[in-house]
Amino acid sequence: MQLPWESLVLLVVPPAAIFALALVHWLRAPGEGQGASDECRGEERAA
């Protein structure tokens, strides 16, 4: 018994894509304790 293709897509693609995004997001971060990350550059201050 096989799954329909759209079920297989919904089962696999969202978690794989979100996991990959989170992994890249983490790996692209400046080292902890090595200066400010993008989010810490003070958008509030700019305003």
Structure tokens at 16: 């794989």
Torsion of CA 4, 8, 10, 13, to 10 degrees: -150
Q: Among candidates 23, 27, 47, which has minimal Cα distance to 37?
A: 27
CB of 30 to another protein, least distance (A): 7
x/- contact string, 17-46, with another protein (CB under 8 A)?
-xx-xxx-xx-xxx-xxx-xx-xx-xxx-x
Q: Footprint of another protein on this chain (CB under 8 A)?
A: 1-4, 6-7, 10-11, 14-15, 18-19, 21-23, 25-26, 28-30, 32-34, 36-37, 39-40, 42-44, 46-47
